[in-house]
Amino acid sequence: MRAVLAPGGFLLVIGQFSQRESIDSAAVLAWLSGRLAGLSAGPGAGELEQACRSAGLELVRQLPTGPFSGNLYTARRDEP
């Protein structure tokens, strides 16, 4: 992912569930219906952060939006 970013570009990842104690019932039902249909659960926030860090990306800002969240990444400056 890092290799295809334009210089100064950003990667915005939206859709992971926020790491909160309570999630509203509509979000739970949406998640459950997808799981019952055979969709995988997807990575957790920590797994996503580690993958981005390993790819040379750094988190610029977290954008909470209801039951979902967005993470804005850019290429680390210390990478070639």
Domain ranges of the chain: 2-75
How many other C-beta atoms can be found within 10 angstroms of the C-beta atom of residue 75?
21
pLDDT in tens, the chain (80 residues): 778 888 888 998 887 555 555 566 776 777 788 788 888 777 777 888 888 889 889 899 988 776 677 889 998 776 55
| pTM of the entire predicted model | 0.62
Question: Is-contact 74 58, C-beta < 8 A?
Answer: yes
